[in-house]
């Protein structure tokens, strides 16, 4: 999956793909290269499909209304029984189907989650696929996987993963920046800004967010205390069994009064990933459109130029219910760094 970009066309392509929109003639699928380190050796998880007698990565086609990240973690659970959190995007694999349509398989790096983790709890159980579809999942070394992969094109995501591992950039954490779901218009709400609620569409958007938020291993939830933000993260917090932490500095009024304090709050949330024992795999931060420039400034301050250029640059920055996933490397020679970003938004 390409990282989030600034141009209108690039942004539309990202959103269409993550919405699950099948732009004819392409068919979109999602999966991951699941990895672990044994001793000092990198191992990855391959699957065997008896119908084709091939070795490949766990993956599958999206279903209606599903985002690509949600599809990836679902397919991995079905085909391997492993519950994962997604890391950085890896190169997609493209090929032609027998009927002439293009198929695009979007890949991420991924690592196993404990089944009792909040992100795993938010997904619920996934029934295993039939053994006629996948009859074996096997951990092998990266070099062995390269030899075993049946399709040469499947080596591209593996090679990218190995490069990240050798550079010390593979074990990232995800900060998911979320703009609240669709809210009632200011002109239509007689109460104060802090109580303006979500619309029916916004409530549906919020109800679909847990699949995507859990895909990135979100274990902690931070939100502006205003109603439209709190209601947006409530379904995920409830499904994950965690309490949302309100951050008063991330309201529209507080940011207008002191952007510096709002930036500091974002930096403090990022700093959580540097804790060796308690660092969450992922975290969610929900706020308002007018606050997004301040949030993005805080992210840009710890991002290299190539990533900074991919952060949203123009108003509205994120659409309602859209997420920006920042992949954070907690220990870098220059300190904490954001090494990749991507955008996703579920359809309603």
d(CA 270, CA 164): 21
Q: Does domain 173-345 have CATH number 1.10.10.10?
A: no
Phi (first) and psi of residue 109, to 5 degrees: -75, 155
Q: Which pair of tokens denotes residue 246?
A: 């309100």
| Residue ranges covered by each domain of the chain | 8-166, 173-345
Eight-state DSSP code of residue 2: P
Q: What is the pTM of this model?
A: 0.91
Q: Is 72 helix (H, G, I), strand (E, B) or coil?
A: helix
Nearest-5° Cα angle at 18, 68 to 232? 95
DSSP annotation of 191 reads: S
Q: Do domains 8-166 and 173-345 have the same CATH topology?
A: no
Strand locations in the chain, DSSP E? 27-38, 41-49, 54-56, 59-61, 84-96, 102-112, 136-141, 173-179, 218-223, 245-246, 282-287, 322-329, 337-345
HEC sequence for 141-174: EHHHHHHHCCCHHHHHHHHHHHHHHHCCCCCCEE
Classify residue 166 as exposed, middle or buried by CB count within 10 Å of its CB (0-12, 13-18, 19+). Answer: exposed
Residue 81, SS3? coil
- With 80 as the cut, is the pLDDT of residue 36 above it? yes
Mean predicted lDDT score pLDDT of the chain: 91
Write the pLDDT tens digit of every residue in 61-118.
998 889 999 999 999 999 999 999 999 999 999 988 888 889 999 999 999 999 899 9
Residue 125 binned pLDDT confidence (cut-offs 50, 70, 90) = confident
- The two structure tokens encoding residue 174: 């995800």
**Strand-strand pairing, 245-246 and 218-223:** parallel
Summarize the confidence of residues 15-25 as an average pLDDT. 46
Token pair for 3: 């990282």
CA distance 348 to 345: 10
Least confident of 26-40, 136-150, 323-337: 323-337
Q: Where are the alpha helices (H) located in 258-345, listed in sequence order?
A: 259-271, 292-300, 305-308
8-166 has CATH 3.60.110.10 classification: no
Strand partners, 220: 283
Q: What are phi and psi of 311, to 5 degrees?
A: -70, 145
Q: pLDDT tens digits, residue range 159-207?
A: 999 999 999 999 999 999 999 999 999 999 999 999 999 999 999 999 9
The string of pLDDT tens digits covering residues 142-161 is 999 999 999 999 999 999 99
In this structure, are residues 34 and 110 in contact, taking their beta carbons and an 8 Å threshold?
yes
Query: Which 8-state DSSP code applies to residue 192?
Result: -
Distances (CA, A) of 337 to 6, 15, 85, 179, 252: 20, 25, 19, 22, 27
Residue 277 neighbours by CB distance under 10 Å: 4
């Amino acid at each position: 999956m390409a990282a989030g970009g600034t141009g209108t066309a690039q942004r539309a392509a990202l959103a269409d793909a993550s919405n699950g929109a099948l732009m004819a003639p392409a068919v979109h699928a999602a999966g991951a290269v699941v990895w672990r380190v044994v001793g000092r050796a990198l191992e990855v998880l391959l699957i065997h499909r008896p119908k084709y007698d091939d070795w490949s990565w766990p993956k599958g086609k999206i279903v209606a209304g599903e985002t690509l990240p949600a599809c990836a973690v679902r397919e991995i659970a079905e085909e391997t029984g492993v519950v994962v959190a997604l890391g950085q995007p890896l190169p997609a694999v493209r090929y032609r189907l027998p009927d002439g349509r293009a198929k695009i398989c979007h890949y991420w790096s991924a690592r196993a989650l404990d089944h009792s983790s909040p992100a795993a709890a938010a997904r619920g159980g996934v029934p295993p696929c039939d053994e006629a579809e996948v009859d074996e999942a096997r951990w092998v070394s990266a070099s062995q996987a390269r030899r075993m992969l049946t399709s040469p094109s499947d080596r591209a995501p593996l090679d990218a993963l190995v490069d990240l591992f050798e550079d010390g950039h593979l074990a990232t954490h995800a900060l998911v920046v979320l703009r609240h779901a669709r809210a009632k218009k200011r002109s239509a709400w007689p109460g104060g800004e802090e109580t303006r609620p979500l619309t029916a569409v916004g409530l549906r958007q919020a109800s679909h967010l847990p699949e995507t938020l859990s895909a990135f291993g979100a274990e902690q939830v931070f939100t502006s205390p205003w109603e439209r933000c709190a209601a947006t993260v409530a379904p995920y917090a409830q499904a994950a069994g965690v309490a949302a932490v309100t951050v008063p500095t991330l309201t529209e009024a507080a940011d207008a009064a002191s952007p510096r304090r709002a930036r500091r709050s974002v930096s403090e949330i990022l700093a959580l990933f540097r804790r060796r024992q308690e660092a969450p795999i992922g975290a969610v931060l929900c706020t308002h459109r007018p606050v997004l420039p301040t949030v993005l400034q805080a992210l840009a301050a710890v991002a290299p130029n190539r990533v900074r250029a991919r952060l949203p640059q123009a108003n509205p920055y994120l659409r309602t219910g859209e997420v920006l996933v920042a992949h954070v490397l907690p220990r870098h020679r220059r300190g904490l760094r954001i090494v990749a970003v991507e955008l996703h938004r579920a359809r309603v």
